[in-house]
Structure 1
Amino acid sequence: MQKIVKTVPLFSHQSPKSSEIVEKLKSIVVSKLAQAQKNKNRINIEIPCLNQRVNLIKDYDSSCNAVNHFSEFLSNNAGLALLNDHPISMNKPLITSGVLQLLQFKDSRHDPTLINQSFWHACSLVLAATLETSFKESFNLRITHVPACSIEQGSFYAEFTTTEPLPILSIYDMESLSLVAQKLISLKLRFLPVSLDDIEAKTVLNLAEPITYAMIGDKFAYKIPDNSPELFANTSLFSRFSVTKLIEIEGAGKYNYRIFGVALPNAFVTHESTFEKLVHSSRQL
């Protein structure tokens, strides 16, 4: 049986199309931030947990920026924010004044559902980045779907197509992919939503409809469904991550696959055997 080599490079070269999208999105972000800074419209943000108020630049400063004025520790450890009781990514520029609350794991003051959903979706995005890192150059891999999975499903997943059939993956191959994922996580990559209206989508990416991308650091970007949770803050809040199973599925491409994984945030330290039970359960799904 063909094996995947253990020495998978940390970053494979992206195809021109994929890298072009990333570069265009980066350009859009820089342009929008520069325009917001030039306009200098201001908003007022109240942060009750810190008993503080801060005046920020509208459409430029994020929740992370707001909190970082007073507590770098809290800024680095919040996975999601609520602005006027509505969830918002920690890295998304703020566009209105209001009351800002921070969501962390093990926070008895807030329902953990929102942050758990956000984390689980972020895991699917990291899984997609792991695939691109490992297979893109050899198999012309293309990510087709990064869904917002529920924790109750027992596993997150991503779907992709290739022009060549993948080899049968052994448990050792899965462990190799898991190591690639852990290396990506260690880079402390932030998740940034980039929404394009219909004009931007058409002129920048030649797309007919408005679209939202999730950028991971400055190397990966994936289309996300409209019903996706608000994006998680940063991979620095990840702990254990394991790629568990690969299956072939029906689809429009020549070879279509779905890959699964499980993970835990760093707020939940668990025994090795407990996490292995989660991995085993995922493989049985």
Structure 2
Amino acid sequence: MNRRICRLLCKGHISQARSLLPTCRHAHNRSLEEYELEREQQSALHKRVQKISVNFVGVPGAEDIRLDMNKYTSTPYACAKHISEYHQKHSCLSLVNGVPWDMHRPIIEDCAIQFLNFQQDDPSIINQAYWRACAFILGSVLERALKPECNVRLHRPPDFSVESGSFAYDFSAEFGREDWRPTSRELLLLSQMALKLSHGIKGKANFYTILPLDVPLDVAKRMFSHNSKKLDQLEELRQLDDKTDVTVYKMGNHVDMLNTGGPLISNADVIGRFNVAAIHKIGEDGVRSTYRAQGVSLPAALTMHPWTYDHLIKNATLLNTSEELPREETKERVKEVEALSG
């Protein structure tokens, strides 16, 4: 299906500057190699087992469950496996001492833990994590679907709220036509590719687990050395927030830095419906045009009448110019996480 999409989207759009940039495959390999190397190096730092106490806060009124876990290596997902099969299968996000926490992010100290799913009374936290994960997957689709000759360069996903009506990913590319717009057929094929990615490959159940990794800024620069936009974002983080590391995410062989300040759901297989609704041209970036790809999605755990979902898709076709979630909230979360590691 990938070759079919490439033919549809890139036919006749051959870049004259293609020799100046690495192919997408080479860039993917470089990012993935740096990610795996850094993950191995971090794992080697914590060979000595240190125990921590994790208290699972379940149903109100019920007695908490105390778990003895391993500092820096045990994750909320590992805790869920110890509690019940239900929590293992249905938990998509956790709260560690009240802070939203990726299910596959190591726990760093004694804590209280809660698990979130899509049946929460207040699903706002997990909904936003789901929205960010959908944007992450959309970025993967854009890189995979367009030929290297288009010189696709991912910028970043605007951190839109669920209430804005769509998630999005900004990117630039060279299509050779200023008036390029995807057809409805092409959008459908992109949507199908997103679903194929999220549902994984038969026999590889864990291939599309979404894995976070905090890496030093210098390591992140090597990961994304092929992408000037990502490098600019890293430099902004260094100057504005005085940060020394950044979170990158891996799913399959796709590695990306979102720079949204919030966690993602644990696995893409919870996605039910996924539609790439529109791609809007929003500017120029030198010889490239800048675009905003937008989509809408629904978790498999939730049901919705087809007419209602079609209405959501229609709304998502409109250019999303909503304000992003306040960066103050992101900074507060970063401070809380850093305080935990204190």
2:130 is aligned, of 89, 99, 119, to 119
2:295 is aligned, of 256, 261, 266, to 261
2:142 is aligned, of 115, 128, 131, to 131
Do structure 1's residue 34 and structure 2's residue 44 form an aligned pair? Answer: yes
Number of paired residues?
275
TM-score (norm: length of structure 2): 0.73
Please report how far the alpha carbon of residue 246 of structure 1 lies from its aligned counterpart in structure 2 after TM superposition. 0.7
- Deviation sequence 1:228-275 (CA, Å, 0-9, x none): 221211112111000000111224352211110000111211122221
Structure-1 separation of matches of 2:146 and 2:266: 26
Structure-1 separation of matches of 2:223 and 2:181: 39
- Deviation sequence 1:173-216 (CA, Å, 0-9, x none): 11010000010010162222222234544677777644524323
Percent sequence identity over aligned pairs: 25
Structure-2 separation of matches of 1:203 and 1:176: 32
Do structure 1's residue 44 and structure 2's residue 71 form an aligned pair? Answer: no
Structure-1 separation of matches of 2:210 and 2:3: 29
Contact 1:147/1:228 (8 A) holds in 2: no
Do structure 1's residue 173 and structure 2's residue 206 form an aligned pair? Answer: no
> In structure 2, do the counterparts of structure 1 residues 221 and 201 end up closer, same or farther at CA, with 3 Å as the change threshold?
closer
Contact 2:220/2:246 (8 A) holds in 1: no
Report SS of the residue matched to 2:317.
helix
> In structure 2, do the counterparts of structure 1 residues 203 and 259 end up closer, same or farther at CA, with 3 Å as the change threshold?
closer
Q: CA RMSD of the aligned region, Å?
A: 2.5
Contact 1:213/1:222 (8 A) holds in 2: no
Report SS of the residue matched to 1:127.
helix
Please report how far the alpha carbon of residue 223 of structure 1 lies from its aligned counterpart in structure 2 after TM superposition. 1.6
- Deviation sequence 1:102-152 (CA, Å, 0-9, x none): 0111222xx321111111111111110111110143412111112221112
Contact 2:5/2:190 (8 A) holds in 1: no
Report SS of the residue matched to 1:258.
strand
> In structure 2, do the counterparts of structure 1 residues 39 and 265 end up closer, same or farther at CA, with 3 Å as the change threshold?
same
> In structure 2, do the counterparts of structure 1 residues 244 and 14 end up closer, same or farther at CA, with 3 Å as the change threshold?
same
> In structure 2, do the counterparts of structure 1 residues 197 and 145 end up closer, same or farther at CA, with 3 Å as the change threshold?
same
Please report how far the alpha carbon of residue 279 of structure 1 lies from its aligned counterpart in structure 2 after TM superposition. 0.6
> In structure 2, do the counterparts of structure 1 residues 86 and 269 end up closer, same or farther at CA, with 3 Å as the change threshold?
same
Structure-2 separation of matches of 1:205 and 1:176: 28
Do structure 1's residue 247 and structure 2's residue 280 form an aligned pair? Answer: yes
Mean alpha-carbon deviation: is it higher for 266-275 or for 194-203? 194-203
- Deviation sequence 1:37-95 (CA, Å, 0-9, x none): x1212211111228422111111111001111232331221121001111110010110
Unaligned runs of 5+ in 1: none
1:282 is aligned, of 311, 316, 323, to 316
Contact 2:30/2:223 (8 A) holds in 1: no
1:17 is aligned, of 27, 51, 55, to 27
Structure-2 separation of matches of 1:255 and 1:277: 29
Report SS of the residue matched to 2:285.
coil
1:237 is aligned, of 234, 245, 270, to 270
> In structure 2, do the counterparts of structure 1 residues 203 and 262 end up closer, same or farther at CA, with 3 Å as the change threshold?
closer
Q: How does 1:155-170 map to 2 (within 5 A)?
A: 155-165=166-176, 167-170=180-183
Structure-1 separation of matches of 2:217 and 2:24: 26
Structure-2 separation of matches of 1:179 and 1:72: 30
Contact 2:249/2:256 (8 A) holds in 1: yes
Unaligned runs of 5+ in 2: 8-22, 201-205, 226-230, 239-243, 320-342
Aligned to 2:79: 66
